[in-house]
Structure 1
Amino acid sequence: MQLLFAAPARKPLQVDRHLRRQIVRYLTTCFEILSPAAEELIPDELEQWGQLRIGNGGDEIHARGYHKLRPDGRDAAFVRYELMVDQEADNPSVDERLEPESQYGELQHIFVLTIPPKTPKVNPHRKKKRHLLLAQIYEAPFKFDEADKYKVIWYKGKLGTGEVVDALTIQCVIDAGEYLYPYIPMFDSIL
Structure 2
Amino acid sequence: MASVVSDSRDASYVRYAMLVDKFGRRKRRKPVYELQTFYGQLQHIYLLKLPPSCSRDLKVDSNGTEDTTVILAGIRSYKLDEGENVTLADAGLDFQFYTTTGGFDVVDITSVQALVGRVQSLENTRQWVIIDRSGTLARAVFADDDDQSND
* Structure 2 length-normalised TM: 0.69
Instruction: Map 1:22-171 onto structure 2 (within 5 A).
Output: 73-119=8-54, 120-122=56-58, 125-144=63-82, 145-148=85-88, 149=91, 150-157=93-100, 159-171=101-113
Structure 1 residue aligned with 2:131: 187
Question: Secondary structure of 1:118's partner?
Answer: helix
Count of aligned pairs:
123
CA distance in 2, matches of 1:112, 1:76: 20
Which AA in structure 2 matches 1:183? Q
The Cα offsets for residues 133-161 of structure 1, whole Å up to 9 and x where unpaired, read as 1111011111232224124311102x335
- Structure 2 CA distance for partners of 1:176 and 1:69, relative to 1, 3 Å: farther
Q: Tell me, which stretches of 5 or more residues in structure 1 are unaligned?
A: 1-67
Cα RMSD (Å):
2.6
Which AA in structure 1 matches 2:131? F
- Structure 2 CA distance for partners of 1:109 and 1:76, relative to 1, 3 Å: same
Contact 1:110 1:136 in 2 (8 A): yes
Contact 1:78 1:173 in 2 (8 A): yes
Q: Tell me, which stretches of 5 or more residues in structure 2 are unaligned?
A: 136-151
CA distance in 2, matches of 1:147, 1:140: 19
Which AA in structure 2 matches 1:173? L
Structure 1 residue aligned with 2:115: 173
Which AA in structure 1 matches 2:120? E
* Structure 1 length-normalised TM: 0.56
Q: What percent of counterpart residues are identical?
A: 25
Which AA in structure 1 matches 2:109? A
CA distance in 2, matches of 1:160, 1:101: 15
CA distance in 1, matches of 2:70, 2:47: 5
Which AA in structure 1 matches 2:28? S
98-107 or 174-183: which moved more?
174-183
TM superposition shift of 1:179:
3.6
Contact 2:120 2:127 in 1 (8 A): no
Contact 1:69 1:75 in 2 (8 A): no
CA distance in 1, matches of 2:64, 2:129: 49
The Cα offsets for residues 81-127 of structure 1, whole Å up to 9 and x where unpaired, read as 00000011133332100111001110012231100122251357541
